[in-house]
A and B are shown apart, each in its own frame.
Chain A
Amino acid sequence: MELVLEADGLGRRYGGTWALRECSLRLPAGRVAALVGPNGAGKSTLLHLAVGLSRPDAGEVRVFGHVPYGNTELLAEIGFVAQDTPIYRDLTPEELVIMGGKLNRRWDATLVRTRLAQLGIPPGRPVGKLSGGQRAQVALALALAKRPRLLLLDEPVASLDPLARREFMQSLMGSVAESGTTVLLSSHILGDLERVCDYLIVLHSAEVKLAGPVEELLEGHRQLSGPRAAGARPIAGVAAVVRASHTDRQSTLLVRADGDPIDPEWTVRDVTLEDLILAYLTDDTVTRASHEAWGVPA
């Protein structure tokens, strides 16, 4: 299996705090991967490291087997749309297309023109005067014109309204089908991900909490409910408890299964992608610490 992105012990520090720490990942080719986590979890940091905008302070990251930092040749293979889709606002889409042609050796101007024409984007109006959705589409079209083998998108739909978000995802999925590009997109909006992504990376507090193909992850996790007393003992068929909540009588657990049949004392349900992400993002230690900080009982 061809690997597009590999990270080993990757870390990046800003001042004294680690924005990303001990990050190890393998992203196989042909996937549409979601990079999920709350704001400040290190999503942008990871993407910036992958596109060579910043240099690791620890470990290393490789894209198609090469270190991206300062590697102009490798950049030709990577399309990147940064958060808030920053492009020169006083330039027109037409001029940006020319600009991209001057800045890249491989540049499919016809592709980007066709795409922008289909979307009904006026070629002569400065980008700053387009709607947020149109601007995001221009940024995506510019990234795709490089004919990249890897497309990195940093919160591409975060600031878009639902209609523009859907239109963006439609163009993205259409072009992925056409080009077979591997995609890594960060998001804190969970709704769209289930249909779009087949690979999941969950980041929280600068660390990777979970990574793998969506299907395997869903298959490997179960939601259990049963009598509270049963929660105290190890449960047959459960490798680890990811998250537990209790009432006086009942326990609800989200667990990683080890493949054996689960103890029949428990009622077993399948998990959705959203259940899974939320379970891995909820951090009990944080709430405990904050209760202490506020001086209220947990």
Chain B
Amino acid sequence: MLIEFVLDGRSKVNTYVQLVQQVKQALRVGLLAPGDQLPKVREVAQSLAINPNTVLKAYRELEIEGLAEGRPGVGTFITASLHREALVNQAELRAELVDWVRRAQAVGLTAEEVTALVATTMRATFPASVTKESA
């Protein structure tokens, strides 16, 4: 098995959304690449003790987003990558963000206030669907 799913029991995020997010995260950090097989539905359902329909739904969602492809009788395979160029610049962006957070600290914002500011800015800047999913 290439990746193993973990569920956050306290999270209010739908179980299938958690699965989708974990696959995407693995794609972003390069843990999964096109051609890789996702864990079998039975394995996921059994190890997490969740409804197999939930797993199917998550995999279908990935198919709809064009990230994966189901091959009947074999399994579901990754077809696209999220390991994009944009992410190559992550280090640079991160450095800028650190600077920004330091400035926020300097003017007396608490960690909570910084998070709130980021969240509202995200909501205002990104399209609605993206923020909902990453909430």
Contact = CB atoms under 8 A, between A and B. Distances in A.
Interface in B38-80: 41-43, 45-55
Interface stretch (A47-55, A98-106, A195-203, A277-285): A195-203
A243 B3 CA distance: 43
B22 interface: no
Interface residues of B, number: 17
A170 B53 contact: no
A178 interface: yes
B15 interface: yes
Contacts of A166: 49
A171 interface: yes
B7 interface: yes
Contacts of B54: 195, 198
B12 to A, nearest CB: 8
Interface in A158-195: 166, 169-174, 176-178, 192, 194-195
A222 B42 CA distance: 33
29 contacts: A31-B53, A166-B49, A169-B49, A170-B47, A170-B49, A171-B46, A172-B49, A173-B48, A173-B50, A173-B52, A174-B42, A174-B43, A174-B45, A174-B46, A177-B41, A177-B42, A177-B52, A192-B49, A194-B15, A195-B51, A195-B54, A196-B49, A196-B50, A196-B51, A197-B51, A198-B51, A198-B53, A270-B12, A272-B12
Given A173-B45, A176-B45, 5 more contacts: A172-B49, A173-B51, A177-B46, A192-B49, A195-B50
